[in-house]
Structure 1
Amino acid sequence: MAEFVKVCALSDLVADAGVAALINNQQVALFYIAKQVYAVGNLDPIRESNVMSRGMTGDAQGQLYVASPLHKERYSLISGECLDKPGYHLPVYASKIEAEQVWVAV
């Protein structure tokens, strides 16, 4: 089972935007939206580039997502599933905020 690792201060994140972090040799994209942190893999599974932290976030019928900056495929920040092309997904990591610090389990 993955253990939580302290990644950064909450103030290091930008509201409604992504930031990349290297956690245990794994690139992770962090998003701070509505006072919650979401953590997904930074690798775009279709284009095989570490770019997801640069993607735009949005909400499609209550489903929070990040869109790949390359070809705009949208991925759920909750499940990691691609909303536009079945069969693709991002890994999703548990995350939490404690004492103004961001923790992620990878």
Structure 2
Amino acid sequence: MTTATDTDTWINACPAQRLAPADGVAVLLPNGRQAALFRTRDDELYAVDNIDPFTHAAVLSRGIVGDRAGEPTIASPMLKNVFSLRTGQSLDEPDTRLTTWPVRTTGDTIQIRTRASEEETP
């Protein structure tokens, strides 16, 4: 679970009922970046970059939600590169990683925090 500070901004991404298990949706963030929001079959929510780093196409929200050895994943619909939904790390190319964003449900709405997880300092 993510705890946000007063300076964090959460945006409404979509109604919770809009996102079915193993489904994804593209979300335009206030800074112009695109996130791909997913609900896994075990009802977990994740948000990663929507831009495929290998093809530079905005397609990851249409990818295949899956699992690799217990790790929730998204496979690009273009070249089938697989990424961890938890960390954004490519499971095929060790030097490639997607940005991830914290996600929460508030009432009937799924929200994404506008500050990316990778930009935080430990």
Q: TM-score range by the shorter chain?
A: over 0.9
1:47-66 mapped onto 2 (5 Å cutoff)? 47-66=55-74
Structure 2 residue aligned with 1:32, among 39, 47, 58? 39
Query: Counterpart amino acid of 2:12?
Result: K
The 2-side partners of 1:57 and 1:29 are apart by: 11
Query: Counterpart amino acid of 1:103?
Result: Q
Note the C-alpha offset of 1:35: 2.0
The 2-side partners of 1:14 and 1:29 are apart by: 14
Q: RCO higher in 1 or 2 (8 Å CA, sep ≥ 6)?
A: 1
Note the C-alpha offset of 1:82: 0.1
- The structure where strand makes up a greater share of residues is 1
Larger Rg: 2
RMSD: 1.2
State the identity as a percent.
32
Larger deviation: 7-16 or 70-79? 7-16
Give CA-to-partner distance per residue, 1:43-66, whole Å, 9 cap, x none. Answer: 001111110001101111111100
Q: 1:47 to 1:2 in 2, by over 3 A?
A: farther
Structure 1 residue aligned with 2:82, among 63, 74, 81? 74
Note the C-alpha offset of 1:8: 1.5
TM-score by length of 1: 0.93
Query: Counterpart amino acid of 2:113?
Result: A
- Tell whether 2:54 aligns with 1:46: yes
Give CA-to-partner distance per residue, 1:19-72, whole Å, 9 cap, x none. Answer: 111121221101011222111110001111110001101111111100011111
Query: Counterpart amino acid of 1:78?
Result: R
The 2-side partners of 1:8 and 1:55 are apart by: 18
Please identify runs of 4+ aligned residues in structure 1 that moved more than 2 A. Answer: none
Gaps of 5+ in 1: none
How many residues are treated as equivalent by the alignment?
Answer: 106
